[in-house]
Amino acid sequence: MLAAPFAFVNAHNDEEHSYLPRNATIYYNEACGMCATYVKESLPNMLGRWGIDDAEYKDYVNERSNRTFMNARMQQAGVPLDLQSHIMTFVGDKYLLGGHIPAHIIDEVFAEENQDKFKRIIVYQDEMHDEAVDYKVWAIPAYADDYVGEIKTYPINTPITEYLNYLEQNRNQLALNGKIGGQLNKFRSLLPVVLVSGFLDGINPCAFAVLLFFIAFLFSLKRTKAAIWKMGIVYIGAIFLAYLLIGVGITKALLFANAPHFMAQLGAWLVIALGVINLLNLYVPSFPIKLRIPSASKDTLQKWIQKATLPAAFVLGFLVGLCTFPCSGGIYVAIIGLLAAKTTYWSGFGYLLLYNLMFIVPLIIILLMSSNKYAVEKLTTWEQSESKVMKLISAFTMVALGAVILIFFT
């Protein structure tokens, strides 16, 4: 932790503003040279005028753990993606300043006459100070338990009291909308999105076909049901491991890129594009881009199927997990981008585990239904006849998921 490298001559009496915290936490990017003047000089002086003279600096680039803490604080405070800046200043739990906030706005936010108008306020201005054109603001007013109305944008010289007056003048309507919004927020929970997406992603014709062919081959070798279930479980477990490792790798790449919010939006558009490609594959067979297991991999998979041992089942499942990623990985990438932007590392990892558990649930159901050779034949016939339907469901799921992420989470 760095001590604040400045001394203040307060323009305000500290006792007069005892309602304000004395400390601030500033999350910033040390590599941003143009931010240094604002972070180390302008911002501390603006805060110091109000007796906030204990600043704790947290560089989230060189100290990766600081990004985890910053994301956790933003998540707890309900900061949406479009109000998350490369500089985040927390003054207690009530004041959140994103980016390069001008002095006149900071003074109005801390002014005593405005304190009873909001429970929490977020102010955002992400351009360099001399390039600022406008700013955004969002707050939990004193009469509500959550943020109300839409995020408002004002010209940079507009006093923030214009926004606070808007909250008061539209009090009844905003309070009613806030209650409705609270109900809608249930649909914004990550958990149902992760669980449903994982399950739908697991309805994967590629993995189904390989599993059913593998089980049918084992029946032809007169293997017992117990032996078949053991190999099936090992096969499914290997797919789980392969997909989980892919997810961890993509997550680390997103964090390394240091642009999780952009990647969440990019992932959403990517999954929409892949959904459209899937639809084109169904209805325009000549379309050159195909989402399927690479043809070069099929001989390798066939070789491991024929070995028919537990180690071979594991290798087969792992290869299937890798090879089917191009087929169904669009949903996965979109969810990982969302988790990277909205969660801390370990909570995101927990969601990743849940996603992958739901991903293998359809395969477990298929395995349980394959109790005898006759059932496998019926399932294989069904898989082949309904393959087009499953691909259609997958395509629409991708498009819908991308739209949900863009509308509700970015």
Q: Which pLDDT tens digit goes with each residue over 124-153?
A: 998 876 778 999 999 999 888 888 888 899
Most confident of 51-55, 184-188, 318-322, 345-349: 51-55
pLDDT at 9: 39
pLDDT at 97: 96
What pairs with residue 284 in β-bridges? none
Tokens of 263: 């990647």
Name which residue leads in pLDDT, 381 or 322.
322
Could you read off the pLDDT of 137-196 as tens digits, one per residue? 999 998 888 888 888 999 999 999 999 998 888 887 776 665 444 444 444 567 888 888
Q: What's the whole-number average pLDDT of the chain?
A: 78
**What's the residue count for the chain?**
410
Mean pLDDT check: name the lowest of 63-67, 259-263, 299-303, 365-369. Answer: 259-263
Given a cut of 60, is residue 256 above it in pLDDT?
no
pLDDT at 376: 63
pLDDT at 184: 41
Tokens of 355: 């996603």
Could you write out the three-class secondary structure of the chain?
Answer: CECCCCCCCCCCCCCCCCCCCCEEEEEECCCCHHHHHHHHHHHHHHHHCCCCCEEEEEECCCCHHHHHHHHHHHHHHCCCHHHCCCCEEEECCCEEEEECCCHHHHHHHHCHHHHHHEEEEEEEECCCHHHCCEEEEEEEECCCCCCCCCCEEEECCCCCHHHHHHHHHCHHHHHHHHHHHHHHHHHHCHHHHHHHHHHHHHCCHHHHHHHHHHHHHHHHCCCCHHHHHHHHHHHHHHHHHHHHHHHHHHHHHHHHHCCHHHHHHHHHHHHHHHHHHHHHHHHCCCCCCCCCCCHHHHHHHHHHHHHCCHHHHHHHHHHHHHHCHHHHHHHHHHHHHHHHHHCCHHHHHHHHHHHHHHHHHHHHHHHHHCCCHHHHHHHHHHHHHCHHHHHHHHHHHHHHHHHHHHHHHC
Given a cut of 70, is residue 11 above it in pLDDT?
no
pLDDT at 89: 96
Could you read off the pLDDT of 97-106 as tens digits, one per residue? 999 999 999 9
Most confident of 159-163, 245-249, 261-265, 323-327: 159-163
Mean pLDDT of the 59-76 span: 86
Given a cut of 60, is residue 383 above it in pLDDT?
no
pLDDT at 324: 72
Could you read off the pLDDT of 210-238 as tens digits, one per residue? 676 667 766 666 667 777 788 888 888 88
Mean pLDDT of the 42-66 span: 89
pLDDT at 4: 38
pLDDT at 107: 94
Query: Rounded distance, CA 381 to CA 212, Å?
Result: 10
pLDDT band at 289 (very low <50, low <70, confident <90, very high): low
pTM above 0.75, yes or no: no
